[in-house]
Amino acid sequence: MKKRPYTICLMMTTLDGKILVDKWGDSPRIEKLGGKFEEVHNQIGSYSWIVGRTTMEKDFTNFAKPVYKPGTHSIPRTDSNANPDAGTYAIVIDPHAKLGWEKSEMHGDHVITVLAESVPDAYLAHLQDIGVSYIFGGVTEIDLNIVLEKLYNLFRIDILMVEGGGHLNGSFLNEGLIDEYHHLLLPVVDGNHDNPAMFEIAQKGKKFDAALFKLEQVKRIEDDVLWLTYSCGPQVKKIH
Ligand SMILES: NC(=O)c1ccc[n+]([C@@H]2O[C@H](COP(=O)([O-])OP(=O)(O)OC[C@H]3O[C@@H](n4cnc5c(N)ncnc54)[C@H](OP(=O)(O)O)[C@@H]3O)[C@@H](O)[C@H]2O)c1
């Protein structure tokens, strides 16, 4: 079996399983509940973390536009580790190079962006100029098994926090690549039916009918929040 990091997924949801904190209004109580994610992240440990492109642009890069270096020649599609001494990494799956980067750090962690090989050369040239690391996860689509293997072998990441959103988590779960799941259940109901859940998997390509989990720990933390820890069990399929 190929080596990959041990993966810990962390998400917080309302009682009705919704994940979009920004739709819950501006009350100080909601703001305090929103801070639980970071608190628990720090309690679990200072590990490298990975998010989807949508989460990165919304919660971290503030919708910055991609930058292209003018006059770029062809750049080979080889992975680039721009900071071999970085201890922890902020990683994003951005297959089509939609994110704009101005620096190579996010919240003190060195940035690695996971791209498809089809991205423009001028985009890679800018990443090289500012020292952002990048790896290729496939020619046009991303294979998460390859991504994890590269993170383990090229960056020595042996524990990885998988931190949303729903589509990123869903694609990890679909591939059987989540080892542990931490769920923060907030005392809030959202009720919006257009708000995603913590695992979103497109019907086409979905590999199971249900994924089973085993409850390992239940903790009641401040502000009526439940912190549930699960290990991930087998995936099951209906016999038709
Ligand atoms: N409540 C919580 O704990 C929590 C935690 C984190 C985030 N969030 C929220 O979640 C929301 C975003 O969630 P989301 O589900 O819409 O988006 P997301 O999972 O953050 O990002 C989805 C995008 O990432 C890329 N991607 C992810 N997995 C991929 C794969 N296996 N292969 C190829 N591309 C992949 C694709 O980018 P392209 O579209 O460019 O192809 C995809 O559209 C944000 O509002 C954020 O604030 C909540």
Mean pLDDT of the region 106-122: 97
Q: How far apart are CA 154 and CA 28, in angstroms?
A: 43
Question: Is 20 a member of any domain?
Answer: yes
User: Cα separation of 97 and 93, whole Å?
Assistant: 9
Q: Report the b/e string of 78-109 with b at 16+ CB within 10 A.
A: ebbbbbeebebbbbbbbbebebebeebebeeb
Residue 149 C-alpha to ligand 1 middle, in angstroms? 21
Summarised one tens digit per residue, pLDDT across range 191-239 is 888 888 999 999 999 999 999 999 999 999 999 999 999 999 999 988 7
Q: For residue 37, give the ligand 1 atom closest to its CA.
A: 3
What pLDDT score does 73 carry? 87
Nearest protein Cα to ligand 1, atom 36: 53
Please give the model's pTM, rounded to 2 decimal places: 0.97
Q: Is the pLDDT of residue 1 over 70?
A: no
Tell how far the Cα of 55 is from the centroid of ligand 1, in angstroms.
Answer: 5
Tell me, using a 6 A CB cutoff, whether residue 142 lines ligand 1: yes
- Cβ(183) to ligand 1 under 6 A? no
Instruction: Establish whether residue 157 lines the binding site of ligand 1, counting it when its CB lies within 6 angstroms of any ligand atom.
Output: no
pLDDT for res 150: 98
Best of 50, 146, 168 for a ligand 1 pocket test (most atoms within 8 Å of beta carbon): 168
Q: pLDDT value at position 55?
A: 97
Contact 177, 144 (CB under 8 A): yes
Q: Domain with 71 in it: what CATH number?
A: 3.40.430.10
**For residue 14, is pLDDT > 80?**
yes
pLDDT band at 65 (very low <50, low <70, confident <90, very high): very high
Distance CA 11, CA 89 (A): 19
Largest CA distance in the chain: 57
pLDDT at 195 (0 to 100): 84
| Ligand 1 atom at minimal distance to the Cα of residue 166 | 15
Q: Please tell me if the CB atom of residue 66 comes closer than 6 angstroms to any atom of ligand 1.
A: no
- CB of residue 5 inside a 6 A radius of ligand 1: no
* Average pLDDT of the residues in 30-56: 96
Task: Report residue 20's pLDDT band, with 50, 70 and 90 as the boundaries.
Answer: confident
Give the pLDDT confidence score for residue 79 in this predicted structure.
98
Q: Give residues with Cβ within 8 angstroms of 102, minimum separation 6.
A: 64, 67, 130
**Distance from C-alpha of 161 to C-alpha of 177, rounded to nearest angstrom:** 12
Residue 26 has what pLDDT? 82
Nearest protein Cα to ligand 1, atom 46: 55
190 ligand 1 Cβ < 6 A: no
Structure tokens at 229: 């820890």
How high is the pLDDT of residue 23?
A: 75
| Domain containing residue 222 | 6-236
Confidence at residue 94, expressed as pLDDT on a 0 to 100 scale: 98
Give residue-wise pLDDT tens across range 130-149: 999 999 999 999 999 999 99
| Domain annotation covers residue 1 | no
Condensed to tens digits (0 to 9), the pLDDT of residues 156-197 reads: 999 999 999 999 999 999 999 999 999 999 999 988 888 889
79 lines ligand 1 (CB under 6 A): no
Measuring CA to CA, which residue among 157, 136, 128 is closest to residue 68?
128
Closest residue CA from atom 22 of ligand 1: 52
Q: Does residue 15 belong to any structural domain of this protein?
A: yes
Beta bridge partners of 231: 180, 214
Average pLDDT, the chain: 95
Residue 67 pLDDT class (50, 70, 90 cuts)? very high
| Domain count within the chain | 1
- State the DSSP string of 94-154: -TT-----SSSEETTEEEEEEEETTS-HHHHHHHHHHT-EEEEEESSS--HHHHHHHHHHH
134 vs 95: CA distance, rounded Å? 11
pLDDT of residue 22: 77
